[in-house]
Amino acid sequence: MTKTSAVFFLAAGIALGQDAVKVAGSQYKLIAENENVRVLEANLAPGAKTPMHSHPALMAVILQPSITKWTMPDGKSRQSPADMKRGSVVAMGAETHVSENAGKTALQAVLIEFKKGAPAAAKASKAASLGECKVVADSPYATAQLCGGAPGSTVPTHSHANSVVYVALTDVRAEITDGAGKKRSMDMKRNSASIAPPETHSAQNTGKASYELIVVDLK
């Protein structure tokens, strides 16, 4: 390989590994981050394309569906499932691609990027199984559940063994009681997202309306 060729391929490798927030800051916004995950908000207008960029393995929570087309560095492409709707969750592996909104409506999603490798199956923590929740996506990294309840409804005591990401599909107002009996308020606006540490707690919907919340438990 010539020196010129080596420089070209090195530059190409760097370009293909670019962080979405750095190369497409108008389309990807950092919401929250800790040592385990990075949470981004993605917004693409109809027909919009991003520069080539890379993501680690992630889960995407769809807030406003459209048709997404991903084009890889080798020119191959694929599209998002046709049945995507608000609240759908898609698990994706690490990938370098261009994202394009090939639909007629704006695309909005919350991306939960996993910073660490997936745990061995034998060491993976299981998400709490609650009657108020339904598993909507699962991967080697995390389990996503759709949870909801009417005003005044309660969630029994349960544990999150690792970090947990909440994505609010509606406004959420709740009273959280931790394992020691200490209470605190949880207030989230529609379409917002937050990261919480491992914890044992119960909860009660103190809002005036039913809520819907995507809960992503890291394994």
Do 9 and 105 fall within a single domain?
yes
Do 182 and 197 fall within a single domain?
yes
Contact 53, 97 (CB under 8 A): yes
Q: Report the pLDDT value the prediction gives residue 4, as an integer from 0 to 100.
A: 41
Do 110 and 159 fall within a single domain?
no
In this predicted structure, the answer to whether residue 1 has a pLDDT above a threshold of 50 is no
In this predicted structure, the answer to whether residue 10 has a pLDDT above a threshold of 90 is no
Do 95 and 60 fall within a single domain?
yes
Q: Tell me: the pLDDT tens digits for 182-197? A: 999 999 999 999 999 9
Q: Is the pTM of this model over 0.85?
A: yes
Q: Report the pLDDT value the prediction gives residue 45, as an integer from 0 to 100.
A: 97
Element (H, E) at 218: strand 211-218
Q: Tell me: the pLDDT tens digits for 68-83? A: 999 999 999 999 998 9
In this predicted structure, the answer to whether residue 42 has a pLDDT above a threshold of 80 is yes
Do 164 and 199 fall within a single domain?
yes
Given 60, 84, 114, which residue is the final one in a domain?
114
Do 131 and 49 fall within a single domain?
no
Do 104 and 152 fall within a single domain?
no
Structural domains of the chain, count: 2
Distance CA 47, CA 105 (A): 9
Q: Report the pLDDT value the prediction gives residue 17, as an integer from 0 to 100.
A: 67
* CATH number of residue 31's parent domain: 2.60.120.10
Q: Report the pLDDT value the prediction gives residue 8, as an integer from 0 to 100.
A: 37
Percentage above 70 pLDDT, the chain: 92
Given 80, 99, 114, which residue is the final one in a domain?
114
Q: Tell me: the pLDDT tens digits for 137-170? A: 999 999 999 999 999 999 999 999 999 999 999 9
The DSSP line for 50-105 is: PPSEEE-SEEEEEEE---EEEE-TTS-EEE--TT--TT-EEEE-SEEEEEEE-SSS
Do 79 and 131 fall within a single domain?
no
The DSSP line for 164-183 is: EEEEESS-EEEEEEETTS-E
Given 83, 114, 145, which residue is the final one in a domain?
114
Do 54 and 107 fall within a single domain?
yes
| Strand-by-strand arrangement of the 28-33 sheet | 28-33, 37-44, 107-114, 58-64, 89-92
Q: Report the pLDDT value the prediction gives residue 12, as an integer from 0 to 100.
A: 41
Q: Report the pLDDT value the prediction gives residue 58, as an integer from 0 to 100.
A: 98
Do 96 and 15 fall within a single domain?
yes
Q: Report the pLDDT value the prediction gives residue 99, as an integer from 0 to 100.
A: 97
Do 143 and 168 fall within a single domain?
yes
Mean pLDDT over 96-109 rounds to 97
> Which residues constitute the domain of residue 110?
3-114
Do 144 and 205 fall within a single domain?
yes
